Amino acid sequence: MLDIKIEKTKNPKKKPGENEEIEFGTIFTDHMFIMDYEKGKGWINPRIEEYKDLVISPAAMVFHYGQTMFEGMKAYKTDEGKTVLFRPDKNIERANNSNRRLCIPTIPNEDFLQAVKEIVKVDEDWIPRKKGSALYIRPYIIATEPALHVNPSSQYKFIIILSPVGAYYKEGLNPVKIWVEDEYVRAVRGGIGEAKTGGNYAASLYSQEKAHEAGYSQVLWLDGIEHKYIEEVGAMNIFFKINGKVVTPMLNGSILPGVTRNSVIEVCKSWGYTVEERRVSAEEIYKAAKDGSLEEVFGSGTAAVISPVGTLKFEDEVFEINNNQIGEVSQKLYDTITGIQTGKVEDKFNWIVEVK
């Protein structure tokens, strides 16, 4: 159990209005959680203080070698006014897997959860109530030892910041356009693709810019060895509905094990769908798009929730999926998952954790 020192700000900021359109992740709440790590002492000095700039050495190892990890979670207000989290255990388990892969000291699961709950409690008035909105939680760790040698840092900071958000894409729940990247890759097997760490996102930017310039929202990555098998999209995992079955790339070490991905699989199975987690080639999707058996495509993620895909570009061919309309399963998944998160749909899976 952490002994968290709480010092509240004397200058609370103005909160965004309920109907204000906020660009994803651009507004931050009044407070943040910080805890330091020092070799020999472990994680020390947990505290909640005013959200403010950090003072860090310009030699801090994170700036040079990218030793860092992050998570993405959300807090919601239910209709009854309760503050809840969605499957925080899954994020915490993944955070510590990322930590192990990046030689960052792990944080005991119960301390991580306590820190998330405490900071959310302090800033719970910032949780937006509008449909489709939530308080995005961004826990992250950075290596802070001032040194230029390449080895694991002996000092770290674990920080949690909060940001009221609406939809991740400007399209909202309307279908997005996705570009299948056949030249560059995001991750390779044996690399750090399954860890949630900055480097994977930095590796995605060049292709994403190329896709944006061509009018596409995101890039769909193929595997790094054969450039044949579908992996994931920039900010989400990907699902296909083919001939009534729900198909998604299996976790192979280079794909992020998404919490929403896992939830989609559980919900679809509970509805009686056959869900296949397996290798999915771009060729298979290309053929299914041509012969009409590709019924729906959608992405899943904490930020993106469920995001229908209306257009897929494979090399020189562009396919429209489901007449560029939100598919039936995509809509039902969105309603069910956001419904569970906001207390409108019964939580049969026991995924909700109350913050009190």
3-state secondary structure of 261: helix
Q: Least separation, in Å, of the C-beta of 87 and ligand COI? A: 12
Q: Give yes or no for residue 88 binding ligand COI (CB under 6 A).
A: no
User: For the purposes of burial, counting CB atoms within 10 Å of the CB of 172, is it exposed (0-12), middle (13-18) or buried (19 or more)?
Assistant: exposed
Q: Least separation, in Å, of the C-beta of 325 and ligand COI? A: 24
Q: Inter-axis angle of helices 328-341 and 259-270, to 10 degrees?
A: 110
Among 133, 254, 263, 302, binds ligand COI (CB under 6 A): 302
Name the closest residue to ligand COI (Cβ).
Answer: 72
Contact 246, 268 (CB under 8 A): yes
Q: Least separation, in Å, of the C-beta of 70 and ligand COI? A: 7
Among 46, 224, 299, 301, binds ligand COI (CB under 6 A): 301
The window from 111-119, 278-286, 299-307, 347-355 that contacts ligand COI (CB under 6 A) reads 299-307
Q: Which two tokens stand for residue 204?
A: 């995605």
Q: Least separation, in Å, of the C-beta of 303 and ligand COI? A: 3
Q: Give yes or no for residue 338 binding ligand COI (CB under 6 A).
A: no
Using CB under 6 A, which residues numbered 39 to 58 contact ligand COI? Answer: none
- Closest listed residue to residue 140, CA positions, set 122, 123, 163, 124: 163
Q: Give yes or no for residue 166 binding ligand COI (CB under 6 A).
A: no
Among 72, 88, 128, 175, binds ligand COI (CB under 6 A): 72
3-state secondary structure of 270: helix
Q: Give yes or no for residue 299 binding ligand COI (CB under 6 A).
A: no
Q: How many residues bind ligand COI (CB under 6 A)?
A: 5
Contact 263, 291 (CB under 8 A): no
Query: What DSSP state is assigned to residue 170?
Result: T
Distance CA(297)–CA(309), nearest Å, equals: 5
Q: Which two tokens stand for residue 212?
A: 């944006």
The window from 11-19, 82-90, 283-291, 296-304 that contacts ligand COI (CB under 6 A) reads 296-304
Among 48, 161, 219, 303, binds ligand COI (CB under 6 A): 303
Distance CA(265)–CA(281), nearest Å, equals: 19
Using CB under 6 A, which residues numbered 220 to 279 contact ligand COI? Answer: 235
3-state secondary structure of 156: strand
Q: Which two tokens stand for residue 343?
A: 């207390």
Query: Which residues of the shown chain bind ligand COI in the complex (CB under 6 A)?
Result: 72, 235, 301-303
